[in-house]
Amino acid sequence: MGEKKVKIRSLTSKDLPAIIEIDRKVLGLNRPEYWKRKIELSEFRPPLASLVAEIDGKVIGFILGDVSGWEFGVPDNTGVIETVGVHPEFQRKGIARLLAEELIRSFRLNGVQTINTLVKWNDWDLLQFFHALGFKRGHRINLELDLTG
């Protein structure tokens, strides 16, 4: 990415403020408690399943992944990408691709054979991004029950 060096490393709890800020910039949401819980949980996950991208010591992107246990009949060799986000000023510079490729490398080293992710049908940025990485429609369908009506 130009002359600036991008560093990919494991996420730590110290990255919480930067992630909250990226979420605020990307989705306009302020969700400190949500991210605190997510990141606390990521400490119980495989160490290379949650990564951040840094430029000059500033966190500008992150990816959260996990490897499934046997819940929902999903075998251990299935990885999941839960969420990925890049600061708007740094998008379309290959940051998310670097994060995802490093995560995929780490999944592969840990015996993962399939990676799943869920994307809203009209979230074009994410759909295009996963398409660019080679993701295709999977075999499971999403079911939902509306309890508000």
Ligand X SMILES: CC(C)(COP(=O)(O)OP(=O)(O)OC[C@H]1O[C@@H](n2cnc3c(N)ncnc32)[C@H](O)[C@@H]1OP(=O)(O)O)[C@@H](O)C(=O)NCCC(=O)NCCS
Q: Is 13 in the site for ligand X (CB under 6 A)?
A: no
Candidate list 6, 20, 22, 55; residue touching ligand X; CB under 6 A: 22
DSSP helix/strand/coil, 52: strand
Identify which of residues 8 and 126 has a Cβ nearer to ligand X in the complex: 126
Q: What are phi and psi of 98, to 5 degrees?
A: -60, -45
Candidate list 12, 77, 113, 128; residue touching ligand X; CB under 6 A: 128
- Would you tell me how many other CB atoms lie within 10 Å of the CB of residue 147? 5
Q: How far apart are CA 79 and CA 110, in angstroms?
A: 10
Q: What angle do CA 29, 33, 39 make, to 5 degrees?
A: 100
Candidate list 27, 47, 108, 111; residue touching ligand X; CB under 6 A: 27
CB of 47 to ligand X, least distance (A): 21
Identify which of residues 89 and 146 has a Cβ nearer to ligand X in the complex: 89
Closest by Cα among 140, 123, 129 to 101? 129
User: Residues interacting with ligand X, by CB under 6 A?
Assistant: 22-23, 26-27, 83-86, 91-97, 125-126, 128-129, 132
